[in-house]
């Protein structure tokens, strides 16, 4: 914790407008794009936006589709979907967890 208070530093819970964001999308029906929603480490739904296309590509890959939206519009579009949070420039992501494929076949026999 900092012992000094600087008047220009926002409080952590204050929303600071992020401006235009690069928002990851996936193909929808027809030619429409659908905003991708993610989950926080605690499981809450969140919309995600990046301040640059390079940051989006570094986190989600070069092939990730994207659109430009303001932070306020992104929040407005995603709140009815249960994503009240907007995460800007997340740096850590993990691939989705998938069970290993089952390989049917004979079990190894141990010699006595």
pLDDT digits over 56-72, tens only?
Answer: 999 998 999 999 999 99
- Tell me the pLDDT tens digit for each residue of 3-17: 555 555 455 555 556
If you count DSSP H runs as helices and E runs as strands, how many of each does the chain have, helices first?
Answer: 2, 6
Confidence of residue 30 (pLDDT cuts 50, 70, 90): confident
Ordered by start, the domain boundaries in the chain are 20-88
pLDDT at 14: 53
């Amino acid at each position: 914790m900092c012992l000094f208070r600087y008047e220009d530093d926002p409080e952590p819970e204050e929303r600071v407008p992020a401006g235009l964001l690069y928002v990851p999308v996936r193909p929808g029906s027809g030619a429409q794009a659908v905003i991708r929603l993610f989950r926080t480490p605690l499981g809450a739904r969140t919309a995600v936006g990046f301040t640059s296309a390079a940051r989006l590509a570094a986190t989600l890959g070069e092939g990730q589709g994207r659109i430009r939206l303001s932070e306020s519009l992104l929040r407005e579009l995603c709140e009815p979907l249960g994503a009240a949070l907007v995460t800007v420039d997340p740096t850590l992501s993990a691939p989705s967890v998938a069970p290993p494929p089952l390989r049917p076949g004979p079990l190894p026999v141990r010699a006595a």
